[in-house]
């Protein structure tokens, strides 16, 4: 970062980085299977562009700190082109006088490089809906280590690609290949044995719009006034191996509280949402907006923990971050 770059070099790097970024984004949009491996490459491309912009500013006799403008979406493209138009100012930049700035820049680039490498192994996702309450809330920002489907166990909370739609879903794994799963009166029957549910009281949250979609949460009847307490009965469900987790049952005899028996085919998985009456999951056929059985190849990873949680309409609204959910393991 202590050197300079000519206008010619600045435009060349800008063109190559822009083309490479658009190419990666285009391939990722066409084939979601490649997103995990290609999207992290955008990070190093951005780093190359930032370093060149710093050197271009030095060549024009300006401070390299202006390079941070290039990281702002849309405005960054305009800033980069504007910086490349600056005329050279020979002798205006003296490298020894910028040691602190150089150290800061190299440190940030090193941290950025580490994050890019980690991105090949761990994904990060934001929860936009309430189908996994109370385990995951709208506004939770979660870490998801990439995992092969063969390594998953019943009870894992898993991120996967929807079977018919082009976006990611998150549900709890209930059935493995060969398992039979049925819902009877709101209770899961796994391989012919009902999963016990122990009452946990009520799950209560404000009856107010949540997330950028502004959806109101579903509540036990009668619905409260806006801003009141939205109450849902909660229970702890236990799997045959002793693993347990909390689930919600908003209404008796809900739309999918009783189903036919599902037999999970080879190479597929059966998922349910923890908010049982507010989840379009494997109980519902894809033709009706649900998941059906999820193929192994659709699995992205197992959720490990909540990094932080925002109760408002934006992750960036720090004033709405929830206490007690920072770096919280997911059961």
Radius of gyration of the chain from its Cα atoms, rounded to whole angstroms: 25
Tell me, letter by letter, the H, E, C secondary structure of the chain.
Answer: CCCCCCHHHHHHHHHHHHHHHHHHHHHHHHCHHHHHHHHHHHHHHHHHHHHHHHHHHHHCCCCHHHHHHHHCCCHHHHHHHHHHCCCCCCCCCCHHHHHHHHHHHHHHHHHHHHHHHHCCCEEEEECCCCCCCCCCCCCEEEEEEECCHHHCCCCCEEEEECCCCCCEEEEEEEECCCCEEEEECCEEEECCEECCEEEEEEEEEECCCECCCCECCCCCCCCCCCCCEEEEEEEEEECCCCCEEEEECCCCCCCCCCCCCEECCCCEEEEECCEHHHCCCCCCCHHHCCCCCEEHHHEEEECCEEEEEECCCCCCCHHHECCCCCCEECC
Q: CB-based contacts of 112: which residues, under 8 Å, 6+ apart?
A: 43, 47
**Catalytically annotated residue among 67, 131, 282, 309:** 131
Q: CB-based contacts of 216: which residues, under 8 Å, 6+ apart?
A: 207, 208, 209, 210
For the question of residue 131 being annotated catalytic, the response is yes
Structure token pair of residue 297: 């190849």
**Catalytically annotated residue among 133, 171, 279, 282:** 171
For the question of residue 226 being annotated catalytic, the response is no
Residues labelled catalytic: 131, 171
């Amino acid at each position: 970062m202590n050197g300079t770059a000519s206008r010619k070099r600045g435009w060349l790097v800008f063109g190559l980085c822009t083309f490479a970024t658009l190419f990666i984004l285009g391939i990722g949009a066409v084939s979601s299977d490649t997103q995990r491996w290609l999207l992290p490459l955008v990070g190093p491309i951005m780093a190359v562009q930032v370093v060149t912009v710093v050197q271009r500013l030095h060549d024009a006799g300006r401070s390299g700190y202006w390079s941070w403008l290039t990281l702002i979406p849309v405005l960054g493209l305009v800033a980069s082109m504007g910086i490349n138009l600056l005329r050279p100012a020979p002798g205006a930049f003296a490298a020894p006088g910028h040691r602190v700035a150089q150290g800061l820049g190299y440190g940030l680039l090193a941290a950025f490089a580490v994050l890019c490498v980690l991105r090949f192994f761990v994904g990060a996702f934001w929860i936009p809906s309430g189908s996994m309450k109370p385990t995951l809330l709208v506004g939770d920002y979660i870490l998801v280590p990439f995992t092969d489907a063969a390594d998953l166990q019943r009870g894992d909370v898993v991120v996967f690609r929807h079977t018919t739609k082009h976006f990611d879903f998150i549900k709890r794994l209930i059935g493995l290949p060969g398992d039979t799963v049925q819902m009877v009166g709101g209770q899961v029957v796994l391989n012919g044995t009902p999963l016990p549910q122990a009452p946990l009281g009520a799950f209560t949250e404000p009856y107010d719009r949540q997330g950028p979609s502004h959806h109101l949460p579903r509540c036990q009847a009668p619905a409260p006034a806006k801003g009141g307490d939205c109450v849902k009965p909660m229970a702890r469900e236990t799997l045959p191996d002793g693993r347990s987790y909390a689930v919600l049952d908003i209404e008796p005899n809900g739309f999918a509280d009783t189903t036919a028996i599902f037999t999970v085919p080879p190479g597929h998985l059966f998922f349910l949402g923890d908010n049982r009456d507010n989840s379009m999951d494997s109980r519902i056929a894809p033709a009706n907006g649900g998941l059906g059985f999820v193929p192994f190849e659709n699995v992205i990873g197992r959720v490990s923990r909540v990094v932080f949680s925002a109760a408002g309409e934006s992750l960036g609204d720090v004033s709405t971050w929830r206490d007690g959910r920072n770096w919280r393991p997911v059961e």
